[in-house]
Amino acid sequence: MPTEEQVRLRRAVALVGLVVLVILIVLGVHSCQVSQANSALKDYSDNVASVIRSSDQTSQRFFSLLASGQSTSNAPTLQSQVDEAHLNAQKELATAQGFDVPGQVASAQQDLLLALRMRSDGIANIAGQLQSALQPSTATGAVNTIAAEMARFYASDVLYKDYTLPMIVSALHSAGIAVGGSNGEPVEGGQFLPSLQWLTPTYLASQLHASLPSSSAACSGLHGHALNSVSVSGTMLQSGGPNTVPASPPPTFSLNITNGGNFSETNVELKVSVSGTSIKGQTVIPQTTPGETTSGQVTLDSSPPAGTYNVTAEVVPVPCEKNTANNFLTFPVTFQ
């Protein structure tokens, strides 16, 4: 017959065992919930990356069609093919509308849908202007309208890259999920508008083979820029290396340029690309003045994989610029 003290001891041991069991259950449930939440966030990030890749492919097809030269012989066929690109853009929007969206990226989802809607609407509106753009009597107005529609694509890139993507990356980081690199969650930078030149009616007309009234204004004087240096986080890159740069988050390169011409230049485009990959970045300096030295910040559209690559920085030549030898700099960079 156990004594009263033994009974109390057994009860205490049982109580402690029960408490430990409850704690383990609570921890297990919490761990399972965290795992499920992280899995849902990863799935959403993967879905976004997939639809952006598809949208990039639509962009490549769309702009290839515009520059194909088919318009010179069969404008209705070109419009029909562009309509197909619009259908693809509509499907991408519908796909994104069906995503399961974790609460912490709800705002990112709203911006994503708006960006994809802008791309779909832009393609549709441009398709409706193509035949007019290819008729000399209506070319000027139609080409100007198409150039204005191109701004939708630029705005969609800003919306995705500066709002949607950073919110997704922030949510992943907050959940303790690595982003980019060889082992992190992959994210897609995305770039629908291939070049800001498409915003310029004269460039757009040349790609469409549209006939615009010729301009009597010829290039005169000196135009252009020189790329002086490139730095990351205040450290100047050296042409002979070594240059070591963190891969994540996607690094920002500061390009220092000088307007060496006699004229102010507008919408000066800066680009950075990583050799052997599709990773790139670009930005625009609204205006430079003669003799002025200024800087622009170019953030890569995604984290480069670990390793050593050649990174090329460029200040895109402006109209009438003749000497472009000093527009480029290339550096060996090791991303870690």
Q: Over 154-191, what HEC string results?
A: HHHHHHHHHHHHHHHHHHHHHCCCCECCCCCECCCCCC
Which pLDDT value is given to residue 12? 64
195-221 average pLDDT score: 77
**Is the predicted pLDDT of residue 267 greater than 60, yes or no?**
yes
25 has a pLDDT exceeding 80: no
pLDDT digits (tens, 9 = 90+) for 139-148: 888 888 998 8
Tokens describing residue 193: 């508008």
Q: What is the pLDDT of residues 83-94, one digit of tens each?
A: 999 999 999 999
Helix (H) or strand (E) holding 227: strand 225-232
Six token digits for residue 11? 């009860």
For the record, the structure tokens of 174 come out as 């907050």
Q: How confident is the model at residue 253 (pLDDT cuts 50, 70, 90)?
A: very high
Give the Å distances, CA to CA, from 266 to 83, 203, 289, 290, 299: 33, 15, 9, 12, 21
Residue 221 has what pLDDT? 83
Q: So what's the pLDDT on residue 50?
A: 94
Neighbours of 173 (CB within 10 A): 15
Instruction: Give the pLDDT score at 276.
Output: 87
pLDDT at 135: 85
Under a CB-based contact definition with an 8 Å cutoff, are residues 252 and 297 in contact? yes
Query: Cis before residue 242, ω within 30 degrees of 0?
Result: yes
Residue 156: the pLDDT is 94
Reported confidence tier of residue 324, pLDDT bands at 50, 70, 90: confident
Would you state the pLDDT for residue 258?
96
Query: What is the rounded average pLDDT of the residues 75-79?
Result: 82
How far apart are the C-alpha atoms of 207 and 66, rounded to whole Å? Answer: 7
CA 105, CA 165: separation in Å to the nearest integer?
10
Give the confidence band of 19 by pLDDT, cuts at 50, 70, 90.
Answer: low
Give SS3 for 3: coil
Residue-wise pLDDT tens digits, 27-59: 555 555 556 778 899 999 999 999 999 999 999
What pLDDT does residue 3 have? 73
CA atoms within 13 A on the CB side of 135: 9
Question: Mean pLDDT across the stretch 209-229?
Answer: 75
Dist CA 81 CA 63 (whole Å): 11
What pTM was computed for the model? Answer: 0.57
